[in-house]
Structure 1
Amino acid sequence: MKRVLAMALLLAGTALGQGAERTPVTNYILKCVGCHLADGSGLPSAGIPDFVDKVGVFARLPEGRAYLLHVPGVIGSSLSDKEIADLLNYVMETYAGESLPVPFEPFTADAVAGLRATEVGNVVKYRRVVADKLAEDGIEVPDYPWP
């Protein structure tokens, strides 16, 4: 696993050095894998949520989609709106599993721009608001490692 990750980082760095456009996989490796790991399992004991079969629930609500845009690794990523949309779609398609709503409305650059402009305040508190709203609709919300 470490060897695969090291090779992926090497290839990503080489592609970036040649001016190639970064793919969602490359952006996941560069921006997300440090916390959520290559398999999306996160580090719950360190406060990093697990994506696997869980992250898709947030795509069900506009507030959940806004939450995803405001987690620190996304809002502080320096990626363009299109890159973030592509990255979030990759995360949903790769890790959400059965938690992904059907039909799934993919993120777009325009939607990302609007959601980024939404003020959510403290993202941990905002996640609790989103979780309560999902629970009211009978949707199981993944555990959250933050107090």
Structure 2
Amino acid sequence: MNVVRVPRARQRVHVPPLMQQRMQPYPQRHTQKRARAASAGAPWIVAARRVSMLLLACVATLAPPSSANAQSKADAALAQQHWVLNCMGCHTATGGGIPGKVPPLANSLGYFEHLPAGREYVMRVPGASNSALSDQELADVLNWLLTTMNRDALPNDFKPYTADEITAHRRPAFSDVATVRARLIRDLHERGITGVADRY
């Protein structure tokens, strides 16, 4: 006698969610936990990274490049060397000049930069115009002299000399420097700029 077995319908067993979670393999459970934790903390992580990047950008902007700073110091040292070799003999080491003979440059020359004609005067005095310095070297010396010994005398909109400007206005040298200087000083006094004395 043959017995026919009829398969029973599978019964659905209700399993609580907590039990379902515990029934999952160990690695899968912890992977899901880490994913939920990362998702919850993602906004804070992104914000922290953005703040860090912003701070780094600010520091990079404020800090001057070391190579450019070193180059600037080298240019200033070379300009000072040209001053010593070509100008200091008459105008003295402090730029104070010789009373009655050589006009002072320190705390004096910068006032002429308030006038367009005064700016040209600085380039065309015989000591500068006829010097052995190249146009670039003369521009560097004048800029060094004005920004170190005449810082308080310069106008707010002072622009450094360039080699092209020196080339265009350096020559001819003034033949009567005293007359040109006296006229410029009168113009300065009329503007209320009295830092340059009539006589030296």
Question: Fold conserved (TM > 0.5)?
Answer: yes
CA contact (8 A) 1:52 1:97 kept: no
Show the counterpart of 2:185. Answer: 131
Counterpart for residue 146 of structure 2: 92
Number of residues of Structure 1 aligned to a counterpart in Structure 2? 124
Identity score, percent = 35
CA root-mean-square deviation: 2.0
Q: Is 1:109 aligned to 2:166, yes or no? A: no
Larger Rg: 2
SS of match in other structure, 1:23: helix
Q: 1:119 to 1:24 in 2, by over 3 A?
A: closer
Offset from partner CA, 1:7-35 (integer Å, 9 cap, x none): xxxxxxxxxxxxxxx92111100111001
Gaps of 5+ in 2: 1-76
Q: Which has the higher contact order (CA 8 A, sep 6+)?
A: 1
Cα distance in 2 for residues equivalent to 1:113 and 1:49 = 24
Deviations 1:21-72 (A, max 9, x none): x921111001110011111111124x11222222110112121111111222
Residue 34 of structure 1 is matched in structure 2 by 89
CA contact 2:126–2:174 (8 Å) conserved in 1: no
Say which is worse superposed, 114-123 or 103-112, in terms of deviation.
114-123
Shift of 1:82: 0.9
Trace 1:1-147 onto structure 2 (pairs within 5 A): 23-45=78-100, 47-117=101-171, 120-145=174-199
Residues in 2 aligned to 1:134 and 1:89: alpha-carbon distance in whole angstroms:
21
Q: Retained in 1: the 8 A contact 2:108–2:195?
A: yes
1:120 deviates by 4.4
**CA separation in 1, counterparts of 2:198 and 2:132?**
25
The runs of at least 4 aligned residues of structure 1 exceeding 6 Å deviation read: none
Q: Which consecutive unaligned segments of at least 5 residues does structure 1 have? A: 1-21
Alpha-carbon distance between aligned partners in 2 of 1:118 and 1:105, rounded to the nearest angstrom: 23
